[in-house]
Amino acid sequence: GNNATNSGAIIDNNGKIGKCYSFTTSSLTLNSPIDNFTNLTISFWMLSSQSNVAVISENTTNFNANNSYMFWTNEATVGKIQFGYHSTIHTIVTSTTTVNDGKWHHICGCISKKSIGFIISLYVDGVLNASTTTTNPYNYYTSGNIYIGSRASTSYFYNGKINDFRIYNGVL
């Protein structure tokens, strides 16, 4: 595994699976383990009742920058989680399940390169909630950071718990 730099996240004994991190105005910064993945899966457990936050983000404070992906909730989606990336344009999927209800939810986002383009899939609690196919390329960013609990550890702080964060170089 990779070690993260902790910027105030608290270790909490009441995770979904053992201990978890609890966030308010804090984050974890992980040096990106992504290295030329052709397929990508990110999974984690989350518990929150907040909207308009970045749960997991990569690379930048600006989601409009190339080569960044993000999981977030916002007021417009009324408690749903979104997963997407920006390469030349935004490619985003939104869950059908509300996740800011104060209960634990398992979130899994996949980016899969196929002959027809890229497939982005979002699972909530083991159920496919949203999927789209795009020709918008995902350029796997290999030298940035992954931020857990904020957007670039400077804004859109997540208020809740995150447990069992994982990144895979394949689609599960």
Task: Tell me what pLDDT residue 115 has.
Answer: 84
In the chain, % helix, strand, coil (3-state, to 5) comes to: 0, 55, 40
Q: What is the pTM of this model?
A: 0.86
> CA angle, 150 as apex, 21 and 49 as ends, to 5°?
65
Q: How far apart are CA 105 and CA 67, in angstroms?
A: 27
pLDDT in tens, 98-114: 999 999 999 999 988 88
Per-residue pLDDT at 96:
93
Q: Residues 20, 48: contact at Cβ < 8 Å?
A: no
Residue 13: predicted pLDDT: 95
- Residue 151 CA to its chain's centroid (Å): 10
Residue 76 is given by DSSP the state: G
pLDDT in tens, 19-51: 999 998 777 877 665 555 678 898 999 999 887
pLDDT < 50 regions, the chain = none
